[in-house]
A and B are shown apart, each in its own frame.
Chain A
Amino acid sequence: MYYLLPDFRFVKPETLREAFRELETEGAAPIAGGTDLVIDMKVGRRKPDKLVYIAHLPELNGIRDAGDSIVIGAVTKLQSIVDSELLRKHAPVLPEAVNEMASWQIRNIATIGGNLGNASPAADTAPPLYVLNAKVVIKGLGTERVMPVREFFVGPKKNALRKGELIQAIIVPKVAGEGVGMSYVKIGRRQAFTLSIVSVATLVKVEGNEIVDARVALNAVAPTPVRAPHVEEALKGSKATAEVVMKAAEEVLKDISPISDVRASKEYRRLLSVALTRESLLTSLRRAGVKVEV
């Protein structure tokens, strides 16, 4: 036994209300899949006094059709997102991205709320949720607020939750349809079971030959995952051609501030950001029905 876990209490509340009560204690932390938290505790990065188990609470679980949006409960397993017909149909960039996360064993227990809550700058659910304009539903004891996913990330490993609050769900607007294309591209240190060096999600909407909407988001290139407004502005109102995409992708350098770390240098991340933005945009345009030749 090389790794020893610190001592903590473990409580399994019967209801969501009871979970909020337990979370009010100093030193309490929620646990669902535990795939990040248990490792953080093993290596001494986190040392909660009490873990409040929430993965079994039905109010926090499942994928539900809500008309013009899809509601994903916070403790929904990553693999359930990959397998969801509803998401594949209406917001395919999310299952596409989640399928590239971690390994099957981890996706079978890790949750979407956990990935957001950890607020890693390299969170792989962030780029697709950013381009989908998804929102986070945050619940506390008798309180509820809703915010865009990109406001939920406030810094490296820092999220917008206040003490005693939980992510209840993520609201994903149904955006797929005529003239809409979206895609996700990730580069890690190897192909399988890897963290992002950079990943990019893009979404385009095309009318005739004109790009009427463009959304671009990246992770692992700034203190939080980011949207790329300079790229988006360069695309909106332009012709849907390869030349336009090539030029717009260069703009991404104005939207990112990568650092060098154990996975890659900042120079490499800059090169990758341009290349992956270009690649993802071309794929999204093709998926939107545009014939783009490079």
Chain B
Amino acid sequence: MKVRFKLNGKWVEVDAKPNEILLDTLRLKLGARSVKRGCETAECGACTVLLDGKPVYSCTILTPMVEGREVITVDYLAETGEIQPLMEAFAEHGAVQCGFCTPGFILTAYAFLKQNPRPSEWEVRKAVEGNLCRCTGYQKIIEAILDAAERMRKSNGNK
């Protein structure tokens, strides 16, 4: 069946099977390889994308469910520069080791900081509870997100 949705700012149309998951449509048909295949059962967060601005797991969303909606992946936000402070903070804090979970973490953190620019540590931990990292032990990721929040506030004139 034909499914039309906005991907990273452009409308796309794919011929999807009814039982096709968004993760497969994005990776195999649309080349969005930043969306990672992890557990495939809505546990790990590696397949996180933004759907109408909110983080969701693309492994349990059927592609026909996104008809007419907007999907954003991490590479697009890297291109627009919107996640520059997050990318820098992740690199400087050593919040990336193998990197497989990183796109999911960055997307969740980006959506979260947009709605809560001045979060507490606990709020950050709560926001990323649906993203698993098997390398870092989380501490560096939490520190990086808190630091990125500060960088974003500074570049927005410390609002």
| B-binding residues in A (CB < 8 A) | 1-3, 5-10, 12, 31, 34-35, 38-39, 41-43, 51, 53, 55, 79, 102-106, 108-109, 192-193
Contact = CB atoms under 8 A, between A and B. Distances in A.
Contacts of A39: 41-42, 60
B40 A104 contact: no
A79 to B, nearest CB: 8
Contacts of B51: 108-109
Given A108-B56, A192-B129, A12 B45 contact: no
Q: Which of B21, B65, B67, B131 has the most CB of A within 10 A?
A: B65
A11 to B, nearest CB: 9
B10 interface: no
5 contacts: A3-B41, A10-B64, A34-B60, A103-B131, A192-B126
A2 B57 CA distance: 16
Contacts of A103: 45, 129-131
Contacts of A3: 40-41
A7 B112 CA distance: 36
A55 B41 CA distance: 21
A237 to B, nearest CB: 40
B1 interface: yes
B65 A193 contact: no
B64 A53 contact: yes
Contacts of A38: 21, 42, 60-62
Nearest to B58: A105
A102 B43 CA distance: 9
A103 B125 CA distance: 11
A34 B65 contact: yes
B102 to A, nearest CB: 16
A170 to B, nearest CB: 22
A55 B65 contact: yes
A103 to B, nearest CB: 2
Contacts, number: 85
Given A10-B18, A31-B62, A192-B129, A105 B48 contact: yes
Contacts of A5: 19, 21
Given A5-B19, A108-B54, A109-B51, A42 B64 contact: no
Interface string B34-59: 00010011110100100100111100
Contacts of B40: 1-3, 42
A262 B65 CA distance: 33
Nearest to B115: A83
A7 B19 contact: yes
Given A105-B108, A106-B130, A12 B64 contact: yes
Given A9-B18, A39-B60, 15 more contacts: A7-B19, A10-B62, A12-B64, A34-B61, A35-B42, A35-B57, A42-B40, A102-B130, A103-B45, A104-B55, A104-B129, A105-B108, A106-B57, A192-B126, A193-B130
B108 A106 contact: no
B56 A105 contact: yes
Given A42-B41, A106-B57, A51 B130 contact: no
Given A10-B62, A34-B65, A39-B42, A105 B21 contact: no
Nearest to B17: A7
A55 B68 CA distance: 13
Contacts of B127: 104
Interface string B105-141: 0001000100000000000011101110000000000
